[in-house]
Structure 1
Amino acid sequence: MAPKKKWRTILRRLLYFFTSVCVLLCIFFAFVEELFEYTPPHIDNLEQRLASLQKVQVHETHSQLANSWSKREQNLLFLMAKGDPFTVGYTSGKLVGQIAPKLEDALLQRVEEIVGNTSLIWMFRKVGYVIYSDLQQYFSNDILQEVYGYSLAVPDKHPELGSSYFRALNYQAAHDTGHRVLENVLSLQGCTSFAAWGESTTNGNLIIGRNFDFEIGDVFDRFKIVQVVIPDKGIPFLSVSWPGMSGAVSGVNKYKLAVTINAGKSDHVKWKATPVTIVVRKILQHAKNISEAASILKKSSTYVSESFLIGDGKTNEVVIIEKSPSITRMRRAKHFSQAIVCANHFFAKEFASHHNHQIFVREGSSPKRLERMRELIKNSYGKIDPQVAASILRDTKLKNNEQIGLSHLHSINPSICSHSVIFDLTAGILWINSGPNQSGRYLPISINDIFTQQPQKSFILDEQIIDADPLVSPEKVSQLVSWRQNVRLWKQKKGQLEKIVAEMHEVNPQHFLTMVAAGDLDFQHKRYKEARKKWQKALKNHPYGEWISDIKTRIKKVGDQ
C-alpha cells in the first residue's frame, strides 16, 4: 500500500473512531437522567395513602392535613408535621410546598450568576447525575421516605432537571455541595454564632445567638419556616429552615438540646457521604444530651468540614465540635471562662497545617468576625441577655468599633443572613428574627410548649419581643438592596456612572466599593489625583478577595498623574 494511501486510511479510521465516541457520548449525556435516575423507596399501599391525604382543610387560623398543619403569625410561617416519615414529607409538601419553586429558582439563578456559562451549567448538571448516582445510600430509609413523600406533593416547575424526587434529595446536600464546589466564593462571607452562660449572662442562663449568612437574595429570608417535627420514632424537634429541608442548620429538640452549624475548610476530602444537615437532624431526633450528640457526630461520615455548636439547656453546657471527613475534635470555652464564639475556622491543632485552612484564615472574613465577637462579649460580660445577644448579631463594625460601612462581608452583620436566631436554652425560649435579615423584630416562642401547642393559640410571646434594629432598620436594609443592585450595575458598566455613584454614596458612603466606584468616576473625568486618593482610601478600608489587587492595579494605572 502506498504511503499516502496508508495515511489516508489511518486518518479515516481515526476520524470514524472519534466520531463514534462523540456520538456515543452525546447519546450518553442525552439519556444520563434516565440512566442514573433514583429508584424511590418502597411505600406500602402508596395509592391508598395518597388518596387519603389529598384534602387540605383551611381553617381561620391554620391549614390542616391529617395531623399536620401550617399557620402564619406575625410574618413567621409555622409548620407542624406529625407521623411516619412518608406522612411527614407528604403533608409538609401539601401545606408549604407551594414555596418550593421560588426557592429552586433562587438557587438556579445564583448558580447562573456564579458560573455564568450556560454550557458549563449543563455539563455540571450531567456530570452531577453520574457522580451522585449513589447518593441515596448515604441517607437512612426514613429520610428517603420523607423526601419522596415531599417530592410527590410539590409543584414540579423544572422537570428538565430530573424528577422531583432526584432534585429534592440532592437539595438535602445543597449546603455541602455549595461549600465544596464554590469554596472560593463562599469564603468571603460566613455564619457567626456564640454562646454565653453562668457568670457572663445576667441571670446565669445559657444564651446562644446565631446568624445563618447565605448570599442568595431575600427569597430564603422571606420564605423561611419554623418547622416542628413530631416523628413516630425519636425525639420531637424544631428547626428554622425551608420547605423541603429534612435536615437542619439551626434547631433544638424537646430536651432543650440545640445545634447550629458553621462551614469550615480543611485538606480532608471525601466526594460523598452524609450531608451535615442530615447529621444535625439525626442529633436533634435522637440525642438527649451533648455526650449522645458527640457520639453521633463521631460515628457520622461527612464530606465537608464543619463546626457544630451544641448547647444543653438542662445543664448549661456548651461545646463546639470541629469535624472534617477524617477527624472529629471537641472544643470548649478557653478565651472566656463561660462564653465561646464560633466563626468559620478551626482551632484544633490538627488543622493548623492544612493548606486550605491557612488560606481560609488568611483571606476569609472568619478571623475578623471572631475578633469582633470576642470584643463585644468582653464589653458585655456579665450583662448578656437576649437583648444584648441581638445587638451582637446586628453589629456592623470591626474591632475597636472601626467603621467599614454597611453590608461589608467582614462584619458580623453583612445584611445577607437567611435567618437569625437567639436561644435562651435554660428558660426554653427561642427568638427568630422576622426579617429582613436580623433588622426586624426577634419574635419569641416557647420551646417548652410548642410541641403540644394547638394551632388556634398564638405562638408568639408578645411580652418578650425584641424590637427592630434602630440603626440598620428594615427600611435601611431595603436601601442596601438598592445599593447592591447599583454595585452590580457599576461592575457590569451599565447605566450612568454619575447616578450610580451618587446613589451608592447616599446609602453606604463608608464601604470600600463605594469609594472604588467614586474613584472610577474621577478617573473617567481625568481627575487622576482625586481618583488615586479615593482608591487609596478604599484600600485602607478592608477590601476583600480580588478587590485588593484590582484596587492596587487602579492606583498603579494613575501613577503620579
Structure 2
Amino acid sequence: MKIKIKIAFFTGILFSFFSCGISKSIHHQPELKGYSQAKPVVVKHSDTLFSSGPNYLIKNKQKLWELYVSGDPLQRGLTIGALSEPMVKKQQELFFSRIQTFIPSKFKQRLLRGFLNWYNRKLYINIPEEYQSEIYGISQYTSDDFNWVAPKYLRSLYLHGAHDIGHAMQDLALVGCSSMAVWGAKTDDGELLIGRNFDFYAGDEFAEDKIVAFITPDQGHPFMMVTWGGMVGVVSGMNKEGLTVTINAGKSKIPLVAKTPISIVAREILQYAANIDQAIAIAKKRQVFVSESIMVGSAQDKKAVLIEVSPNNFGLYDVQNNDQLVCSNHFQSDAYKTDERNLETIATGHSKYRLDRMNELLSEKEQMNPLKMAEILRDTKGLKDKKIGYGNEKGINQLIAHHSIIFKPESRRVWVSSNPYQLGEYVAYDLNAIFSKKENDFVVLGTNSLNIPKDGFLDSEAYRNYEKYKEQSKIIDKAIAQKETLDDAFITAYQNLNPDFWMVYDKAGQYYFGKRRYIAAQAEFEKALAKEITTVPDRIRIEKYLKKIRRRK
C-alpha cells in the first residue's frame, strides 16, 4: 500500500510539473488584433486555377502548382489555406495517418499527444509572432480528423518542428541534400550561380503536389520558395533582392525540446535580409534545436557562404580566393573542426563522398551555366564516374528529391524541377517580371523559353527498371520482416533491376540468412561488399553477418 501511495504521489508531482511546463504553450494563441479574420472567398475558374481577390493558385503544364499571394501575416495564412486547402489537408493526412498506422491504440495516442505537448512547450516562444499568425491562418483549413494529436493551430505549429526532427534523423535516410555555388571566372557570364537538390524523402506522395510560392508580405522583401501544403518555413528560396537561402542537414542529437525550426530561420532570412551580413545577423539571434548548414547566396555580395548553426555552436564558412562553394551534410568551418559528431559524419557517412563528387564534376566543367548545373544535379554516378547503383546516397542524384532548384541571383532568375525527382523539365521563373506583373492577371508564371529540358534518362529502360526496383524492394522487405518465402528467380530478377547497387545483394543476403540458407546468404553478402556501400556502419553490419555465417560452418 505504501509503495502505491508513493507512486501516486510522485506521479502527481510529475504530472503537475509537466502541466505547469506546458499549460501556457497548449493554450497559446497568436496575437491577431488589428488583422481582419474574415475568411477569403475563393473563385474556382477550373480544376487548375483558383483565385481570391488578386491572389491565385494555378497549375502549369509541368504539373507544378504556382501560388501568388500578398498581404499581412493573417491574410497570407488565410489566403494560402483557402487556395490550397486540398493540399494542406493531404499533407497532414499523409503524415498523421501513418502515425495512426504505427500507433493504433487510443491510449498510446493520448500518451503521444501528451508527449508532443511537452516536447513542443517552447516552440511558440521561439517562432516569431508574424509566422505564428500566418500558420494560424492556414490551420483554419486543416481537417478535424487529427484533433487527437492537437487542435488545428498547435498541430500545424508542431509540424514545423517535426520537419527538423526529420533532419535530425538523417541516419534513417530521410535526408541527404547537396548544394553548390559558383561565380566569377567559374561561370560563363561571371554571375553567381547556385544549384541544390532537396533530398528530403517522406514517400512519393509527399512530392506529388509541389508548390512554387511567390509571396509579397506587408513587411520585408517579396520572395519565392518551393514548398508544400501548410508549410510557411523555407527550405529553398530567393527574394527580390537576389538573396538565396537553402538548407542542408548536419549531424544532430535527437533534441530534447523544440526551439526555432531551421525552416523558420531560413524564412526570416529570406524575407528580411538583402545581403550576407544581414543574413548572419538574423541567424545569430535565433536558438535552433538541430544542426544545419544554411547556404546564403547574395547578388549584392556576388558570392555564397555557409552559415553553420547548431544548438551550442555557430560557424561561418566563407571560401577565400576561390570561386566555388559546395555543401553536403557536414560542417566545414573552423568552429566545427574538432566537433566529434561532425568528424564522425565525415569519416563514416556518405556526405564527404558526395562533396568530393561535386568538386570533381565542377572541376571538369568550365564556364558553368544553368544547363551544366542541372547536369551535375542529375548525376547518379560515383567518383571517377563509377557505377554505384541508382538510389545510392553517395550519388548527387539519389532519385528521391522532393525538388531541385537553380538560382541566378544577379538576374533574379530561378529554375525549379518538375516530377519525377529532378528528372523532369526545370521551369524557369523571372522574379523581376513576376513581382511587377498586373494584378488580377491569373496566368502561369514561368518563362517557358528559358526552361531546361527533361533528362533523357527519364525515357530509358534503366529508369523504368529503377521504378520497378522500388516496388519490388517493398516485397522483399516484407518477406524479410515476416519470414515469407520468395522464389529464387524473383530474387535474381530483382537484383537485375539495379545490379550496381549494393543494397539488392544485402537484402538478398538478409532474406537467405532468415531462411537459414547460409551458403546463399554468404554469397550475396560478399557481392554486396564488392559494391560501393553507402556508409561504414552498413559495411560493418554486413561483415557481422558474414562472421555469424562462418561460425555456423
With normalisation by structure 1, the TM-score equals 0.87
- Pick one of 480, 487, 498 that aligns with 1:508: 498
Residue 73 of structure 1 corresponds to which residue in structure 2? 60
SS of 1:282 mapped into structure 2: helix
The superposition leaves residues 424-462 of structure 1 with CA deviations (integer Å, 9 ceiling, x where unpaired) of 223322111111111211111112212233543332222
| Residue type at the aligned position of 2:41 | K
The superposition leaves residues 534-560 of structure 1 with CA deviations (integer Å, 9 ceiling, x where unpaired) of 322211323336532332233224439
1:366 aligns with 2:346: no
Superposition pairs of residues 10-409 of structure 1, within 5 angstroms: 12-19=1-8, 37-44=26-33, 49-51=36-38, 53-60=39-46, 62-74=49-61, 75-108=63-96, 123-180=111-168, 182=169, 184-186=171-173, 189-265=175-251, 271-333=257-319, 337-380=322-365, 382-409=366-393
Residue 5 of structure 1 corresponds to which residue in structure 2? none
Q: Do 1:194 and 1:208's aligned partners in 2 also have CA atoms closer than 8 Å?
A: yes
SS of 2:305 mapped into structure 1: strand
Q: Do 2:127 and 2:260's aligned partners in 1 also have CA atoms closer than 8 Å?
A: yes
| Residue type at the aligned position of 2:470 | V
Q: Do 2:245 and 2:270's aligned partners in 1 also have CA atoms closer than 8 Å?
A: yes
Distance 1:363 1:167 in 2: 36
SS of 1:416 mapped into structure 2: coil
SS of 1:176 mapped into structure 2: helix
Q: Do 2:40 and 2:79's aligned partners in 1 also have CA atoms closer than 8 Å?
A: no
Residue 431 of structure 2 corresponds to which residue in structure 1? 447
Distance 2:112 2:334 in 1: 36
Distance 2:544 2:464 in 1: 36
Q: 1:35 to 1:277 in 2, by over 3 A?
A: closer
What percentage of aligned pairs have identical amino acids? 30
- How far does residue 156 in structure 1 lie from its aligned partner after superposition? 2.9
Aligned residue pair count: 543
Distance 1:437 1:370 in 2: 20
Q: Do 2:328 and 2:354's aligned partners in 1 also have CA atoms closer than 8 Å?
A: yes
Distance 1:157 1:31 in 2: 28
Q: Do 1:265 and 1:305's aligned partners in 2 also have CA atoms closer than 8 Å?
A: yes
SS of 2:456 mapped into structure 1: coil
Distance 2:282 2:2 in 1: 58
The superposition leaves residues 101-142 of structure 1 with CA deviations (integer Å, 9 ceiling, x where unpaired) of 322233346668999999777644422212322321112221
Distance 1:118 1:183 in 2: 29
| Residue type at the aligned position of 2:277 | S
Over alpha carbons, which structure has the higher Rg?
A: 1
- How far does residue 183 in structure 1 lie from its aligned partner after superposition? 5.3
Q: CA RMSD in A?
A: 3.2
Q: Do 1:265 and 1:360's aligned partners in 2 also have CA atoms closer than 8 Å?
A: yes
- Pick one of 536, 544, 551 that aligns with 2:542: 551
1:429 aligns with 2:413: yes
- How far does residue 355 in structure 1 lie from its aligned partner after superposition? 2.1
Q: 1:90 to 1:194 in 2, by over 3 A?
A: same
Distance 2:190 2:56 in 1: 36
Distance 2:425 2:162 in 1: 28
Residue 479 of structure 1 corresponds to which residue in structure 2? 468
| Residue type at the aligned position of 1:549 | I
Indicate the larger mover: 194-203 or 542-551: 542-551
1:420 aligns with 2:404: yes
SS of 1:159 mapped into structure 2: coil
The superposition leaves residues 401-436 of structure 1 with CA deviations (integer Å, 9 ceiling, x where unpaired) of 121111112211111111111112233221111111
Q: Do 1:33 and 1:162's aligned partners in 2 also have CA atoms closer than 8 Å?
A: no
| Residue type at the aligned position of 1:534 | E
- How far does residue 508 in structure 1 lie from its aligned partner after superposition? 0.8
Q: 1:15 to 1:312 in 2, by over 3 A?
A: closer
Distance 1:238 1:464 in 2: 18
Distance 1:233 1:331 in 2: 30
Distance 1:491 1:449 in 2: 54
Distance 2:28 2:337 in 1: 42
| Residue type at the aligned position of 1:96 | S
Q: 1:547 to 1:266 in 2, by over 3 A?
A: closer
Q: 1:294 to 1:36 in 2, by over 3 A?
A: closer
Distance 2:176 2:60 in 1: 29
Q: Do 1:32 and 1:129's aligned partners in 2 also have CA atoms closer than 8 Å?
A: no
Q: 1:558 to 1:271 in 2, by over 3 A?
A: closer
SS of 2:522 mapped into structure 1: helix
Indicate the larger mover: 267-276 or 195-204: 267-276
Distance 1:31 1:325 in 2: 25
| Residue type at the aligned position of 1:554 | Y
Superposition pairs of residues 525-536 of structure 1, within 5 angstroms: 531-536=521-526
Q: Do 2:251 and 2:330's aligned partners in 1 also have CA atoms closer than 8 Å?
A: yes
